Structure 1
Amino acid sequence: MNCFDMKYGDSCFKYGVFKLFGKEGVPRDPLAAYQAFEFGCKSTDHGKSCQGAGRLIAEGLVSHSPSLTPAIPMFERGCHFGLAESCFHLGGASITLANRMEKAREKSKGQDSPSSLRKKAFDAWSKGCELGHELCCRNVARMYSVGDGIPVNESKADEFRHLAEKIASDRLRVDTEIAASTKA
């Protein structure tokens, strides 16, 4: 198989998708999907495979218990490899864990502190925004607006809001052009 034998990342991702959703001749098997995604992420540095593995961990399809902490390294790798969606999920997982820790007022050994998780969220969403992910830009704007882990800075918040609007309007323009060209 190209994924495991040839270490071809695109094949790992495609095989993982086939195993996750099933396909004619390929029975559905979420654990096998995770194994393909994880292999693709760790052995071939394939960002989409990292994202797939992280999502399966976070949603509990691997262990039958949703867990953000073990999903974070997968999202970090996907973000590192330039996948904006992984940056978005890394930021979301980090901010969720920070909020949970603050509610529980605890810091377990080996875990990041709420402030370091907030910084991780900010950094991930900033990178995702640079990669063109609208919601990452909106999340950075929100963090600046309310001072969530960073100092309040309304001018920076406005800058990221405008960037999010530009990304959204550019996407709408492209979608409109595509729709118009398919009707012609």
Structure 2
Amino acid sequence: MAYNFKSESEVKEYINNLGIEYRFGCYSEKKPEVCHLLADFLESIKKDFEKAGKVYKNNCDEYKYGKSCLKYGTYSLLGRGTKQSDFKQAYDYFEKGCNLEEPDSCLNQALLLITKNDRPDIKQDVIKGMRLLEKACQAKNANACYYLSGMYIVGVKNDTTSNITDVSKADSAKHEEFSVPKNMKKAFEFALEGCNLGNIYSCANLSQMYAKGEGTEKNQELAEKYKSITLEMQKEVQSNKTLSFQEGLNP
């Protein structure tokens, strides 16, 4: 049946039928991808975050659908559809999603590990976090590549050296000051990968690296090339306007 989307009544009928179709595909046919679409429908069209969260959670737990694990992890982190945020639960669901090869889940799990916090339920572990970022980057997650590049540009310091009062231990501590030493060669490699995947900040960093000869040979021509790519991306971001799932629809 063809719908006239200029007609409010036909739009409502289309939306209602869409919900029925998703429910049938999820609950009767038990299709994980349709369950995820049902949750998206409940979230975006119905604005029922509590029900959407339950569907995402069940689809992750029962059907091992990585994208739903990612969504429920995000819900847990934000406290969406629940009474309050739960960082440990968010971490656990990001981990499930990552184990199911969902790169955005690996990215979010990594960021929870890398970010310094006072939460006893999530212990900071920069090295494990970077391994997860590498996994996400290898799976073509542009943001993960960008974060890795940035970490290698500045290095990551240990927090333990600041508490050393024994002078005899100070020299050896200096060698362990960085848990991740600055490494411009690796920074360049991850920036290149991030830029190739469309991360604007990676492209900007790449231009600077070529201009200064950091992590690679100095090359002004390539510096200008990646500067132009960055500016073009910036224009595209500013002019790009896309419709969201629910925009223009009245449920």
C-alpha root-mean-square deviation of aligned residues, in Å?
Answer: 2.9
Equivalent residues of 2:211, 2:218 under 8 A apart:
yes
Aligned partner letter, 1:32: Q
Residue of 165, 170, 175 corresponding to 1:106? 175
Deviations 1:23-58, CA, capped at 9 Å, x for gaps: 2336421011111112211x2110110111111112
Instruction: Return the alpha-carbon distance in structure 1 between the equivalents of residues 133 and 139 of structure 2.
Output: 10
Do the aligned partners of residues 4 and 130 (structure 1) sit closer, same or farther apart at CA in structure 2, a change above 3 Å counting?
A: same
Equivalent residues of 2:76, 2:82 under 8 A apart:
no
Q: TM-score, normalised by structure 2?
A: 0.60
2:63 alignment counterpart: 6
Q: TM-score, normalised by structure 1?
A: 0.79
Residue of 81, 94, 98 corresponding to 1:37? 94
* SS at structure 2 position matched to 1:24: coil
Do the aligned partners of residues 94 and 66 (structure 1) sit closer, same or farther apart at CA in structure 2, a change above 3 Å counting?
A: farther
* SS at structure 2 position matched to 1:150: coil
Query: Does residue 95 of the first structure (1) align with residue 173 of the second (2)?
Result: no
Residue of 83, 88, 106 corresponding to 2:141? 83
2:111 alignment counterpart: 55
Equivalent residues of 1:141, 1:161 under 8 A apart:
yes
Do the aligned partners of residues 65 and 142 (structure 1) sit closer, same or farther apart at CA in structure 2, a change above 3 Å counting?
A: farther
* SS at structure 1 position matched to 2:140: coil
Aligned length: 172
Which contiguous aligned blocks of 4+ residues in structure 1 show a shift greater than 6 angstroms? none
- Which of the pair has more CA radius of gyration? 2
Residue of 74, 82, 85 corresponding to 1:25? 82
Identity %: 27
Equivalent residues of 1:18, 1:26 under 8 A apart:
no
Instruction: Return the alpha-carbon distance in structure 1 between the equivalents of residues 214 and 124 of structure 2.
Output: 25
- Structure 1 unpaired stretches of 5+: none
Query: Does residue 46 of the first structure (1) align with residue 102 of the second (2)?
Result: yes
Instruction: Return the alpha-carbon distance in structure 1 between the equivalents of residues 80 and 70 of structure 2.
Output: 14
Instruction: Return the alpha-carbon distance in structure 2 between the equivalents of residues 89 and 33 of structure 1.
Output: 20
